[in-house]
Amino acid sequence: RELPSILNRMPKAELHIHIEGSLEPELIFEMAQRNGIKLDYPSIEELRAAYAFTDLQSFLDIYYAGAGVLQTEEDFFDMAWSYLNRAKADHVLHAEIFFDPQTHTSRGIPFATVIGGLDRAVRRGREELGVSASLILCFLRHLSEEEAFAALEEALPYRDRFIGVGLDSGERGNPPEKFARVFARCRELGLHLVAHAGEEGPADYIRDALDILKAERIDHGVRCLEDADLVARLARERVPLTVCPLSNVKLAVFHEMHDHNLGRLLQAGIAATVNSDDPAYFGGYLNDNYAATFAALPELGAREAYQLARNSFEASFVAEEEKKGWV
């Protein structure tokens, strides 16, 4: 009865959103047109119809292709501005936003163009929308550690425009240890550290992201329930998991929402949060993720709604002082 309205209106933070995954088909077509790029799909509807995924890789192929329309600083600004407006509508007070510079620099787009557009949107979002936001640079784990080091090097002149680094793209066969040295370097630089782990990859990758990479937060992490010792540790150490329910169902990590383990994670005492991952591709923004999970999982009620919102602020990288105003 009242729950859908509570879920929609409660203040929340979003900690797992890939900005390239917020690029709606409408914007892809608009940018393709203004940049003179020919798309493989004749219409918005046909592009959207191709969003039928069987696993992570089948999604990544389409996601990287879609990002190919981004050329100018204006494009990066427009993409992030559009997301921030959606976030505002969902009562998101704070967002920590991933971006994938290697997806763009490998196409000849300068890092300055990428960060320039994103940073301008973040600043304007703070001023005009009252949404606080920061950027987290993700390394693509299907590429080499050497390439990650090169991406870091290119980004360092803009060190003040992002707060941390993450690790995304195809998880299987690309374990955390592959990036041990680049993460150690980022740690020395005082950057926050997060990593995708335990989405398609095994529970061991979650442990290695903590022990080897020193990740402060785990993105997805839902496969932790396969390892009881790990679950106990995550709960004891209050390691946040940024769970993305609609993404998990679309990428067949869970067969349907009814099978999702979000309720079990909370019951185990884990600081789980709800996030949208790639909202333009997975059928919804943050409030859609809350709505879909609470509709499908009977163990989730008002208490859990409050807990998840609280977790989202506590798991964020904002200063403790600022958090006090939120939780």
Q: Which residues are annotated as a binding site?
A: 16, 18, 196, 277-278
Contact 230, 206 (CB under 8 A): yes
Of 56-85, which residues contact ligand HPA (CB under 6 A)?
56, 63
The least CB distance from residue 219 to ligand HPA, in Å, is 7
- SS (HEC) of 106-168: CCCCCHHHHHHHHHHHHHHHHHHHCCEEEEEEEEECCCCHHHHHHHHHHHHHHHHHCCEEEEE
- Pick 154 or 277: Cβ nearer ligand HPA: 277
The least CB distance from residue 164 to ligand HPA, in Å, is 16
Contact 129, 84 (CB under 8 A): yes
Residue 56 interaction partner, one of Zn ion, ligand HPA, none, beta carbon < 5-8 Å per kind: ligand HPA
For residue 226, indicate whether it is catalytic. Answer: no
Q: Does 20 bind Zn ion (CB under 5 A)?
A: no
* Number of residues lying near ligand HPA (CB under 6 A): 11
Residue 169 interaction partner, one of Zn ion, ligand HPA, none, beta carbon < 5-8 Å per kind: ligand HPA
Q: Does 277 bind Zn ion (CB under 5 A)?
A: yes
Q: Does 100 bind Zn ion (CB under 5 A)?
A: no
- Pick 3 or 143: Cβ nearer ligand HPA: 143
Q: Spell out the long-range contacts of 90-93 with Cβ–Cβ below 8 A and sequence spacing 24 or more.
A: 90/8, 90/12, 90/285, 90/286, 90/287, 91/8, 91/9, 91/10, 91/11, 91/12, 91/287, 92/12, 92/13, 92/14, 92/131, 92/286, 93/11, 93/12, 93/13, 93/130, 93/131, 93/132, 93/313, 93/326
Of 165-184, which residues contact ligand HPA (CB under 6 A)?
168-169
Q: Does 14 bind ligand HPA (CB under 6 A)?
A: no
| Residues that bind ligand HPA in the complex, under the rule CB under 6 A | 18, 21, 56, 63, 168-169, 196, 199, 247, 277-278
**Which residue numbers are catalytic?**
199
| Residues that bind Zn ion in the complex, under the rule CB under 5 A | 277
